Amino acid sequence: MSFQNSYWFPHDYDAHADLKIRALIKKYGLEGYGRWWVVVEQLASQEDYRLKRCSWVIEALAEAMRCETDETEAFLDDCIQSFELLASDGEAFWSESLMRRMQAREAKKQVFVEAGKKGAKKRWDSQAIATLLGGQKGANGVRWLDSTDSTDSTDSTDSTDKEGVTPKAENEHSLEDHEDKVKTFFEAYWQREPRKEGKKAAFEAFKENFPATLSREQLNIRLQNFQEHFDIREADAEEKFFEGEGRFVSKPANWIRSNDFDEPPEDNTEGQLFEPVGSEDGEDV
């Protein structure tokens, strides 16, 4: 089921004032009004917003309505024939009104998703971010470099440090360099985070995903996947805030910990934005 439909679906706050609903209430009372929303909720949870009219569906609806199956059959018949609240082709039934609302919602959500992905690609794939991260910018985006990589012509075979820095101090600098990159990348992410709440907890969760013990290849994978997961979160959050449902956007730390950044999101359709570390021909530097 798409777009978190289990949270809510759009409907009029004064639906009870509709003439067809009033006719339903006159015959079935407020209990019938409750039955009606059981049917609508079940329809909204279906991929095509339709329910097959078969024995097991009737039994399931009867159980949800706390009534007998023959009462459920009669109620559906009235909703289709007497009150014209539902439509049916003999095999399935649906609500034309609900279908229009849900399809409009899905279309609007898709607009947000596409706009979010285009905007995200432009913002993340920037030389400014590459500079901040201390990385390099390749043809497809930012790539992570550790402190031992160099873009100057210093002879790497010279084992003597010109400033007398010991190997131990160099290793410590490498760790500090890594931590600085993690902090800077987190800040770049936080600027775009739609729910700026619990920054300290979010940073701790973020840092857990980018430990210094990972190889550059693993860092690149997680960096790329983090972006793709976040692009989806950002588009989804924009739609929720637009609809006044911002409370359903998870807290940053919870969102970070709930995702596996070793894997791309299931519905990812974008190309690679962060280029793996290596030379232009694919060999390791």
Instruction: Note whether 190 and 120 are same-domain residues.
Output: yes
Instruction: Note whether 213 and 189 are same-domain residues.
Output: yes
Domain boundary among 50, 69, 94: 94
Q: Are 32 and 276 in contact (CB under 8 A)?
A: no
The helix (run of H) or strand (run of E) holding residue 142 is strand 142-143
Instruction: Note whether 87 and 107 are same-domain residues.
Output: no
3-state secondary structure of 247: helix
Distance of CA 63 to the CA centre of its chain: 33
Q: Are 246 and 236 in contact (CB under 8 A)?
A: no
Q: What is the CATH number of the domain that holds 83?
A: 1.10.10
284: in domain? no
Number of domains within the chain: 2
Residues contacting residue 63 through CB under 8 Å, at least 6 positions apart? none
Instruction: Note whether 65 and 188 are same-domain residues.
Output: no
7: in domain? no
Per-residue pLDDT of the chain (285 residues), as tens digits, is: 333 444 444 444 445 558 899 999 999 999 999 999 999 999 988 888 999 999 999 999 999 999 999 999 999 999 999 999 999 999 999 999 888 888 776 776 666 566 555 555 555 554 444 444 444 444 344 455 443 443 343 444 444 444 444 444 444 447 788 888 888 889 888 988 999 999 999 999 999 999 988 888 888 888 888 988 988 888 888 877 777 778 889 999 999 999 999 999 875 433 333 333 333 444 332
For the record, the structure tokens of 136 come out as 């390099």
